[in-house]
Amino acid sequence: MFAPMSHSIDFNFPSIFNFGDSNSDTGNLIAAGIETINPPYGQIHFKGPSGRYCDGRLTIDFIMDAFDLPFLSAYLEAVGLPNFRRGCNFAAAGSTINPATPTSVCPFSFGIQVSQFLRFKARVVELLTKSKKFDKYLPAEDYFRKGLYMFDIGQNDLAGAFYSKSYDQIVASIPTSLFEFENGIKRLYDEGARNFWIHNTGPLGCLAQNVAKFGTDPSKLDELGCVAGHNQAAKLFNLQLHALTKKLQAQYADSNITHVDIYTIKSNLIANYSRYGFAQPIMACCGYGGPPLNYDSRVGCGQTKVINNTTVTANSCNDSTEYVNWDGIHYTEAANQYISSEILTGKYSDRPFADKMPFALSLKF
């Protein structure tokens, strides 16, 4: 059972604390010095690389805009006057729900991100008690209780597993991942978090990276040209994640736990791309190799490499607004704008909040 209506969703959040992977990383992995990204990343809006794995803004940026809040500063960003007054972003590209291993792309797994938040909160409270000069840079203490905690993570656990495990092994490992996720939510709840906004994972099989690696056999593809096994695993993960959110809502009756069906939003975009003004649903805008995927794992977007004794560069397409996919792995700003507008209708959320939207948000995009 869901909590009574007295705990219904309120969109007047003073702050947002975000956890996740590259879908919502606004600069943590880059600030950590683990990777670098070069132009044409960030070519739209930011006019240069912004720490985001995108040609411009991410879904979280559009959501912050709709909430009339500034873009979230990355927790690890030390220069450029990061401001954490209205929240903080702990998401890091390549991160997983499961603890990182020595071969992981990113060491900042979900448990580490939660630990970073706990340290952040403790340090904020400590500084606020010492001096008022920090007030304009740090969240007020009650912002931690009143704020919104957002999550978009799990994609890399599934996608990465396909390189070394069978489909059955991957499906069997989902409960372990979700147990780890549940533990993180509990730690945040114990610290006073009460408003949770949880995205499920998208159609992994529709990313050019996965089609290139796992879709060479046409029988492995579905009617959209996506890798069927990847998408089926994502659906099974999402079913169990949704069940977990309902369990948590029943367990924490004084909380608001909202599950957002990102999978359906993204699948609908890919299936009906032309209806929404796109020309390419799967092929990467920025890549190398040309149609049908324009993706080569040996040379990433913006990179120049020598392949077969020839120097090649993975360049951007002429108009990224015609593409759903940016670099074979991540979505374009244009796609992110569509995705965020669909999220904010409330139609894909459990609990639905469509009736609240006209009064709560003024969409600027």
**Is 333:54 a contact under the CB 8 Å cutoff?**
yes
* Catalytic residue chosen out of the listed positions 109, 330, 340, 349: 330
- Percent of the chain having pLDDT more than 90? 90
Is 330 one of the catalytic residues?
yes
Q: What gap in Å lies between CA 54 and CA 43, rounded to an integer? A: 9
**Is 350:343 a contact under the CB 8 Å cutoff?**
no
- Percent of the chain having pLDDT more than 70? 93
Confidence of residue 231 (pLDDT cuts 50, 70, 90): very high
DSSP, res 206: G
**Is 76:112 a contact under the CB 8 Å cutoff?**
no
Kindly report the pTM of this predicted structure. 0.94
Q: What is the mean pLDDT of residues 163-173?
A: 98
Res 9 pLDDT > 70: no
Residue with tokens 């360049």: 315
* Catalytic residue chosen out of the listed positions 157, 327, 340, 349: 327
How many C-beta neighbours within 10 Å does residue 239 have?
12
CATH 3.40.50.1110 segments of the chain: 14-274
Q: What is the mean pLDDT of residues 323-335?
A: 98
pLDDT in tens, 70-112: 999 999 998 877 899 999 999 999 999 999 999 999 999 999 9
Residue 258 is which amino acid? T
Crossing angle (nearest 10°) for helices 262-271 and 333-343: 130
Residue 245: phi, psi to the nearest 5? -65, -35
Is 254 one of the catalytic residues?
no
What's the whole-number average pLDDT of the chain? 93
pLDDT in tens, 210-222: 999 999 999 999 9
Is 21 one of the catalytic residues?
no
Q: Half-sphere exposure of 171 toward its Cβ, with a 13 Å CA cutoff?
A: 11
Q: What gap in Å lies between CA 237 and CA 177, rounded to an integer? A: 9
Its CATH architecture, for the domain 14-274, is 3-Layer(aba) Sandwich (3.40)
Q: What gap in Å lies between CA 334 and CA 322, rounded to an integer? A: 8
Three-point CA angle 43, 330, 307, nearest 5°? 80
pLDDT at position 12: 84
Residue 245 is which amino acid? T
Q: What is the mean pLDDT of residues 12-38?
A: 96
Q: What gap in Å lies between CA 55 and CA 326, rounded to an integer? A: 7
Q: What is the mean pLDDT of residues 22-36?
A: 96
pLDDT in tens, 127-150: 999 988 889 999 999 999 999 999
Confidence of residue 359 (pLDDT cuts 50, 70, 90): very low
pLDDT at position 82: 83
Confidence of residue 243 (pLDDT cuts 50, 70, 90): very high
Res 5 pLDDT > 80: no
Res 185 pLDDT > 70: yes
Q: Is 289 helix (H, G, I), strand (E, B) or coil?
A: coil
* Catalytic residue chosen out of the listed positions 22, 50, 177, 349: 22
DSSP notation for 253-271: TTSEEEEE-HHHHHHHHHH
Q: What gap in Å lies between CA 113 and CA 115, rounded to an integer? A: 5
pLDDT in tens, 116-128: 999 999 999 999 9
Over the range 131-160, which residues count as b (16 or more CB within 10 Å of their CB) and which as e?
A: eeeeeeebbeeebbebbbbbbbbbbbbbbb
Which two tokens mark 179? Answer: 């147990």
Give the residues across from 167 on adjacent strands.
Answer: none
